[in-house]
Chains A and B, each alone.
Chain A
Amino acid sequence: MTEILSAAERAVRLAVNKGFDEAEAFATKITRRDIIFRNTIEATRRSTVAGLSVRGIVGRRIGFFSTSSLERSDVETAVDESLKIARANNEDPAWRSLPRKYGKASVQKIRDKNIEHATAKDLVDEVRLAINTVHEVGSADITRGFLLTNVMSNAIANSHGCRLERKETFAAMSLAAKAGTADKKGVSNEFSVTRLWKGLKTKQLAHAAAERAVKMVDAVQIPNGKLNTVWRNDAFSSIIDAMLTRTITADAIQKNRSPWTGKIGQHVASEGVTIVDEGRMEAGNGTRPFDDDGIPQTRTPVIEKGVLRGFLYDNYTASKESRLSTGNAHRDVGTFGSQANYMRTPAPYPNNLVLEPGDATAEELIKETKNGLYVVETIGEWLSNPISGELSATLSSGFLIENGELTRAVKGVIIASNFFDILKGKMDLRANDLHSAGAVYAPTTQVNDMTVAGE
């Protein structure tokens, strides 16, 4: 048995001995390595953190305390503090029980030995590849970059005799490049996060960053107006993330903070739109054999052919409606092991939310659009309002589409629309290039008739 699983089981036993009716312990160990670089390497880091949380229930009163130490005395303190909180807490009439059964789904490619065993030299070599590729393009420089690997193990155990463990890996590369002079500068940012070392695609990423930085040197503003747009896959995945991930969860529905309440079975999008949470997708960033409640992850349709089909549940929200959890309990929301996940209580969140791709290529979409705007990078899209549907993003990198071709670089305009309107027929043309910058997978997508605030 691993150190974290035995610590979790010990914590559960201790909690029951001290008077909890039910108890659960969730333990984490993360080893992170990263390199921070520009055109040279500034810092290399290795970090190992561990921790454990105790969730205990006394007569429908819930307590929770976490600690970064697995030492017996600190775990005992966590149990005592958790008990103190439970006793101070109000009774939760909706509380049923912790899961009485855990389960593991069969999932592929969420753990890579090349990441687990990567040496400092392997990381330095990958960074060298990024630096050299950017310089091959010519006049571009790297202004900020990092390469990161995470190896994360979790253990969960409860007083109903359940216990499980899992181990997963992540690698991520981030690059900011610049070209031009102090007064006329072009910049670009590229990012990828993946389960597998080879999924980093460093050369491709570095090439894209360098090339676009050079093109952005001549970026212009454009006047106010209405334009058809094409969003690169990762930019559109950020839009879906901002507009859907926090409102299609069962807690948002149950607590009246979602615009989707009471709309199951209704046509909320055009027939061409299907959005599914694929909890077992091969090599998916959010794929895990079981969620943070110990429930197997699965496939949950959210919107099917335009019809709202369902929401995402964890154990607590599911038991409130006397139904089964969809295996969407998360203790870290979209941080891919960069934050210790044992510190939070579980809440429902998408595993891999997938917007079904189309069958065109991204180039065909641009050609088809004829005149409009190609959106590559935005800032502030996360400031949009998923409750009112008001979507707004500030373009930091994009291109005009003229006669079906990418022409002048554009930046600095605000692009706005209502997301609920977009779903209903303004985003029916999609490419076949599904990609993710986080928990949402989206293809390059044409979005028609957006308001552009410029000069």
Chain B
Amino acid sequence: MDDLLKYSVARASDLGAQYADARFQDLRQTLIIAENGSLRTYESDRSTGIGIRVLAGGAWGLASSTLLEKRNLRQMASEAVRLAKATKKLSARVQLAKIKPMESTVKIPVRNDPDNVPPEAKVRLLLEANKAALTIAGIKNSTSRLGFMHDVRVFVSSEGTNVKTDVTTSGFSQLSVAAANGSMERVPEQRSQCAGYEFIESTDWNTFAADVSQLASKVVAAPMPPSGTYPAILDPELIGLFLHEALGHASEGDLVATKESVLEGKLGAPIASEAVTVYDDGGIAGGYMVPFDDEGVPKGKTTVVQKGKLQGFLLSRDTATELGLKPTGNARAQNFEHKPIVRMTNVYMEPGDLSFEELVKGIDHGFYIRGRGSLGGQVDVGGGTFTFRAGPSYLIEKGEVKHMVRAVNFAGKVLETLKTINAVGKDFSISTSVFGGCGKDGQMAKVGDGGPHVRLGKITIGGRAE
């Protein structure tokens, strides 16, 4: 494969490209779904392809294909150069920040390759868990999924970089729907890890699935919270989601370079309370492993916020030049077809020193917002408004966690909300998902996030209680 990629890059350079890279991907994915005690689908796919990216005349040209023949690569290289040059006067005058060419291969260790586990074993495990979730009273639907992804990427550039990454991810998800008194409610929950089938074998999924059903049967009878603005504690799952939406996206270099982000021009300035330190880290345990990005730049640990001050942005090589900073290894593409764009890897908050009880004590009337059963979130980066949907949550009264309330949407303004973080817990966890991902500009990326329990002074709750 290396030879084909080097050939493509050399061909593009011969045709006048200032810079060229070629990416090969071999992606295997399996998704098995069981519903209400029987198997619904067992889908498995293997996709391979090459994408060539060239810089010519100040703009990028890209050509990609699933056809891996040398003749086709030759055509793709010239097509990419032709497309870049077609831009002419409208070209963005892209310039790449310098990096040191690297040669490296990183394989995330896998003890038991999911592809070598017989389909029978996977089906058996999934059906058992799926049925366990149906044993809880009031459950109308149980949908369980097993997901596996094996992503091998090879990157070669005209500057001499040649890196390979090999990441396997495995996971289980459960969705339970409960009904009571003419009302229905659903609770989704998943666990994934960059690991092989050993991760699936290390957990009792029957208990996991039944617990999700328990939660669904409980929340269907819970009241709606009121609407308005309240203090709240977010759990590690939700603080991760919150940081991803509220801070992570706004720190993406492409959005900063276009002055779209609310963080534009704020490097070094206080943007959050002093209790807040946030990193983007491609190698944190529990997250999605990104040893190198899709420009062949190592993704280490980037400090985004240090004690409340904006410390850095997430950058690709071209956005680094635009902002006069160094690339951070955050240029990622969904697959070989797409152009690498600035993406997060794993965004998380550094823990503090308070216990959960101490955090709760500080709230007279507010909410304990849980991530379990959450569906995700979204941000309007330019407008600075973020929103996310929590899982079943709890009312806090006079420093004590009280009854459960239904899952609703929460929203806030990025800069205002970060400043209201007034206490940070000492626990810590990070998670990723083989099933979902983060969408941006029509591309999906695998990410992770997390942190400790965190207390916010003020967040808007979209409830409907009178």
Q: Which of B86-94, B394-402, B449-457 contacts A (4 or more CB under 8 A)?
A: B86-94
A383 surroundings in chain B (CB, below 8 A): 375-378, 387-389, 409
Taking the complex as formed, is A388 at the interface, i.e. its CB lies under 8 A from any CB of chain B?
A: yes
CB-CB nearest in chain A for B139: A256
Whether the Cβ atoms of B35 and A89 lie closer than 8 Å is: no
Docked CA distance A113–B191 (Å): 47
B-contact 0/1 string along A10-51, CB 8 Å cutoff: 000000000000000000000010001110111111111111
Interface hub of B90, B119, B259, B410 (most chain A Cβ within 10 A): B90
Residues 366-421 (chain A) with a chain B CB within 8 angstroms: 377, 379-380, 382-385, 387-388, 390, 392-397, 411-418
Residues 382-439 (chain B) with a chain A CB within 8 angstroms: 382-383, 385-389, 406-411, 413
**Cβ-neighbour of A67 out of B46, B119, B265, B411 (below 8 A):** B46
Taking the complex as formed, is B204 at the interface, i.e. its CB lies under 8 A from any CB of chain A?
A: no
Docked CA distance A16–B29 (Å): 25
Docked CA distance A430–B461 (Å): 29
A-B contact pairs, 13 of them (CB 8 A): A37-B92, A40-B93, A45-B83, A47-B51, A48-B64, A49-B49, A53-B45, A63-B42, A92-B39, A256-B177, A380-B387, A394-B386, A414-B227
CB-CB nearest in chain A for B337: A47
- A416-B67 contact given A69-B48, A256-B36, A383-B375, CB 8 Å threshold: no
Residues 64-103 (chain A) with a chain B CB within 8 angstroms: 64-69, 77, 81, 84-85, 87-90, 92
Docked CA distance A66–B383 (Å): 41
Whether the Cβ atoms of A41 and B227 lie closer than 8 Å is: no
Taking the complex as formed, is B43 at the interface, i.e. its CB lies under 8 A from any CB of chain A?
A: yes
B410 surroundings in chain A (CB, below 8 A): 414
A69 surroundings in chain B (CB, below 8 A): 48, 66
Docked CA distance A453–B228 (Å): 5
A344 surroundings in chain B (CB, below 8 A): 43
- A43-B61 contact given A90-B127, A453-B462, CB 8 Å threshold: yes
Whether the Cβ atoms of A41 and B49 lie closer than 8 Å is: no
Q: Which of A119-127, A277-285, A295-303, A349-357 contacts B (4 or more CB under 8 A)?
A: A119-127
In the assembled complex, how far is the CB of residue B445 from the closest CB belonging to chain A, in whole angstroms? 14
B442 surroundings in chain A (CB, below 8 A): 146, 148, 338
Taking the complex as formed, is A201 at the interface, i.e. its CB lies under 8 A from any CB of chain B?
A: no
Whether the Cβ atoms of A453 and B186 lie closer than 8 Å is: no
A65 surroundings in chain B (CB, below 8 A): 43-45
- A89-B408 contact given A42-B59, A178-B382, A414-B460, CB 8 Å threshold: no
Q: Chain B's interface: helix, strand, loop or mixed, by majority?
A: strand
Taking the complex as formed, is A143 at the interface, i.e. its CB lies under 8 A from any CB of chain B?
A: yes
CB-CB nearest in chain A for B87: A41
Whether the Cβ atoms of A45 and B339 lie closer than 8 Å is: yes
Taking the complex as formed, is A104 at the interface, i.e. its CB lies under 8 A from any CB of chain B?
A: no
Whether the Cβ atoms of B259 and A182 lie closer than 8 Å is: yes
CB-CB nearest in chain B for A48: B65
Taking the complex as formed, is A167 at the interface, i.e. its CB lies under 8 A from any CB of chain B?
A: no
In the assembled complex, how far is the CB of residue A241 from the closest CB belonging to chain B, in whole angstroms? 15
A-contact 0/1 string along B152-180, CB 8 Å cutoff: 00000000000000000000000001000
Give chain B's interface residues, CB within 8 Å of chain A. 29, 35-36, 38-39, 41-49, 51, 59-67, 79, 82-84, 86-88, 90-94, 118-120, 122-123, 127, 140-141, 143, 177, 183-186, 224, 227-229, 254-255, 258-260, 262, 264-265, 337, 339, 375-380, 382-383, 385-389, 406-411, 413, 441-442, 460-464
Give 19 A-B pairs besides A45-B83, A68-B66, A453-B227 with Cβ atoms closer than 8 angstroms.
A41-B90, A46-B63, A49-B66, A65-B43, A90-B123, A131-B90, A178-B382, A185-B262, A256-B36, A380-B377, A380-B378, A383-B377, A388-B184, A394-B462, A396-B380, A396-B385, A412-B383, A414-B460, A415-B462
**Cβ-neighbour of A88 out of B59, B119, B260 (below 8 A):** B119
B62 surroundings in chain A (CB, below 8 A): 43-47
Docked CA distance A56–B274 (Å): 60
Interface hub of B38, B42, B122 (most chain A Cβ within 10 A): B42
B47 surroundings in chain A (CB, below 8 A): 51, 67-68, 340, 343
**Cβ-neighbour of A89 out of B39, B66, B339, B376 (below 8 A):** B39
B91 surroundings in chain A (CB, below 8 A): 40-41
Nearest 8 CB-CB pairings of A with B: A187-B382, A414-B462, A88-B119, A43-B60, A380-B387, A453-B227, A383-B389, A394-B387
Whether the Cβ atoms of A397 and B227 lie closer than 8 Å is: no
Whether the Cβ atoms of A45 and B63 lie closer than 8 Å is: yes
CB-CB nearest in chain A for B25: A68
- A417-B38 contact given A43-B60, A69-B66, A379-B378, CB 8 Å threshold: no
- A380-B49 contact given A178-B382, A392-B462, A416-B462, CB 8 Å threshold: no
Interface hub of A124, A141, A256 (most chain B Cβ within 10 A): A256
B260 surroundings in chain A (CB, below 8 A): 143-144, 176, 178, 187
Whether the Cβ atoms of A390 and B46 lie closer than 8 Å is: no
Residues 315-373 (chain A) with a chain B CB within 8 angstroms: 338, 340, 343-345
**Cβ-neighbour of B42 out of A89, A121, A124, A259 (below 8 A):** A89
Docked CA distance A110–B388 (Å): 36
Whether the Cβ atoms of B90 and A40 lie closer than 8 Å is: yes
Number of A residues, CB within 8 Å of B: 91
In the assembled complex, how far is the CB of residue A153 from the closest CB belonging to chain B, in whole angstroms? 14
Whether the Cβ atoms of A120 and B86 lie closer than 8 Å is: yes
Whether the Cβ atoms of B83 and A379 lie closer than 8 Å is: no
Taking the complex as formed, is A454 at the interface, i.e. its CB lies under 8 A from any CB of chain B?
A: yes
In the assembled complex, how far is the CB of residue A101 from the closest CB belonging to chain B, in whole angstroms? 24
CB-CB nearest in chain B for A44: B83
Docked CA distance A187–B67 (Å): 41
A377 surroundings in chain B (CB, below 8 A): 380
CB-CB nearest in chain A for B220: A388
Docked CA distance A62–B39 (Å): 10
**Cβ-neighbour of B258 out of A144, A414, A418 (below 8 A):** A144
Docked CA distance A124–B90 (Å): 8
B-contact 0/1 string along A102-137, CB 8 Å cutoff: 000000000000000000110010011001000000
CB-CB nearest in chain A for B34: A90
CB-CB nearest in chain A for B182: A259
A454 surroundings in chain B (CB, below 8 A): 460
In the assembled complex, how far is the CB of residue B381 from the closest CB belonging to chain A, in whole angstroms? 8
**Cβ-neighbour of B94 out of A42, A148, A452 (below 8 A):** A42
Whether the Cβ atoms of B82 and A120 lie closer than 8 Å is: yes
Docked CA distance A416–B389 (Å): 13
In the assembled complex, how far is the CB of residue A182 from the closest CB belonging to chain B, in whole angstroms? 5
Whether the Cβ atoms of B42 and A412 lie closer than 8 Å is: no
A176 surroundings in chain B (CB, below 8 A): 260, 382
CB-CB nearest in chain B for A394: B387
Taking the complex as formed, is A216 at the interface, i.e. its CB lies under 8 A from any CB of chain B?
A: yes
Interface hub of B86, B93, B264 (most chain A Cβ within 10 A): B86
Taking the complex as formed, is A451 at the interface, i.e. its CB lies under 8 A from any CB of chain B?
A: yes
Docked CA distance A69–B65 (Å): 11
Docked CA distance A248–B338 (Å): 34
Taking the complex as formed, is A139 at the interface, i.e. its CB lies under 8 A from any CB of chain B?
A: no
CB-CB nearest in chain B for A395: B385
Whether the Cβ atoms of B339 and A43 lie closer than 8 Å is: yes
Whether the Cβ atoms of B409 and A414 lie closer than 8 Å is: yes
In the assembled complex, how far is the CB of residue A388 from the closest CB belonging to chain B, in whole angstroms? 5
Interface hub of B39, B385, B386, B410 (most chain A Cβ within 10 A): B385
Whether the Cβ atoms of B464 and A418 lie closer than 8 Å is: yes
A49 surroundings in chain B (CB, below 8 A): 49, 64-66, 337
Docked CA distance A66–B254 (Å): 35
Docked CA distance A377–B29 (Å): 35
Whether the Cβ atoms of A394 and B228 lie closer than 8 Å is: no
**Cβ-neighbour of B92 out of A42, A148, A379 (below 8 A):** A42
In the assembled complex, how far is the CB of residue B258 from the closest CB belonging to chain A, in whole angstroms? 4
Docked CA distance A131–B91 (Å): 13
Docked CA distance A46–B177 (Å): 43
**Cβ-neighbour of A124 out of B87, B127, B264 (below 8 A):** B87
Docked CA distance A227–B138 (Å): 36
Residues 438-455 (chain A) with a chain B CB within 8 angstroms: 451-455
B84 surroundings in chain A (CB, below 8 A): 44
Interface hub of A383, A387, A392, A455 (most chain B Cβ within 10 A): A383
